[in-house]
């Protein structure tokens, strides 16, 4: 799967599988904030991951959001109420003020794209299930040591509740 830039950017025709020969589009900076100059690579999805990236972007960080190329990008783009263009109101709120790229992390090419972006990032956000980033070769030990690696998870990366699925709790009436 080749890299594609969302929503209105295009890749270089000379790029290899899952790669692009150009850098991400220039940052959108409506006004500087206290995090101006901080580069964030956002691998988070749905609400928690996108909210964290949105907060950093609100304060001026340059956030590059990596989305899956299949299924229309981040699931938050199509969650619940959609506007006249078919975009979720959640995405309009939590997806703004960032640049988006699509890379398939299940392919070596997509993982190379993330590693290349991580080389120039200050912060990486992710909210995968425990062990998923490591299975992709994108865990903290696989990326630059200078990178601030932020994980968002319901019950942490280890411990007695690490494998509890949040959906099961909701269906059971706990949430």
Question: Is 164 part of a structural domain of the chain?
Answer: no
Reported as type and span, the H/E element at residue 92 is: helix 89-94
Question: Is 16 part of a structural domain of the chain?
Answer: no
Report pLDDT digits (tens) over 149-162. Answer: 999 877 777 777 77
User: In the prediction, which pLDDT does 61 show?
Assistant: 95
User: In the prediction, which pLDDT does 106 show?
Assistant: 94
Question: Is 111 part of a structural domain of the chain?
Answer: yes
CA geometry: angle 120, 121, 125, nearest 5 deg: 155
Q: Can you point out the beta strands (E) in 77-155?
A: 99-102, 123-126, 148-151
What is the mean pLDDT of the segment spanning 112-126? 97
**Rounded distance, CA 56 to CA 39, Å?**
10
- Min mean pLDDT across 20-34, 45-59, 113-127 is at 20-34
CA atoms lying within 13 Å on the CB side of residue 48: 11
* Number of domains observed in the structure of the chain: 1
Q: Can you point out the beta strands (E) in 70-147?
A: 99-102, 123-126
User: In the prediction, which pLDDT does 21 show?
Assistant: 38
User: In the prediction, which pLDDT does 73 show?
Assistant: 84
User: In the prediction, which pLDDT does 11 show?
Assistant: 34
Question: Is 126 part of a structural domain of the chain?
Answer: yes
Size (the chain), residues: 175
Question: Is 70 part of a structural domain of the chain?
Answer: yes
- Percent share of the chain, pLDDT over 90: 43
Question: Is 96 part of a structural domain of the chain?
Answer: yes
Cβ–Cβ < 8 Å for 64, 24: yes
Question: Is 22 part of a structural domain of the chain?
Answer: no
- Whether the predicted pLDDT of 49 surpasses 80: yes
Question: Is 92 part of a structural domain of the chain?
Answer: yes
CATH of the domain at 47: 3.40.50.10540
CA geometry: angle 113, 26, 68, nearest 5 deg: 35
User: In the prediction, which pLDDT does 102 show?
Assistant: 92
Name the residue range of residue 90's domain.
Answer: 4-10+35-153
- Whether the predicted pLDDT of 5 surpasses 70: no
What is the mean pLDDT of the segment spanning 84-89? 86
């Amino acid at each position: 799967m080749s890299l594609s830039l969302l929503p209105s950017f295009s890749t270089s025709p000379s790029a290899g599988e899952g790669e692009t020969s150009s850098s991400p589009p220039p940052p959108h900076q409506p006004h500087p904030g206290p995090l101006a100059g901080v580069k964030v690579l956002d691998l988070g999805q749905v609400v928690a991951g996108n909210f964290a990236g949105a907060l950093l972007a609100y304060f001026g960080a340059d956030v590059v959001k990596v989305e899956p190329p299949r299924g229309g990008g981040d699931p938050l783009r199509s969650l619940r109420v959609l506007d006249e263009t078919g975009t979720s109101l959640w995405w309009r709120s939590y997806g703004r003020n960032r640049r988006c790229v699509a890379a398939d992390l299940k392919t070596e090419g997509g993982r190379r794209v993330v590693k290349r972006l991580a080389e120039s990032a200050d912060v990486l956000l992710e909210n995968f299930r425990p062990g998923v980033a490591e299975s992709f070769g994108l865990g903290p030990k696989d990326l630059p040591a200078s990178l601030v690696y932020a994980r968002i998870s319901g019950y942490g990366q280890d411990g007695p509740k690490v494998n509890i699925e949040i959906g099961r709790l909701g269906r059971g009436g706990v949430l």
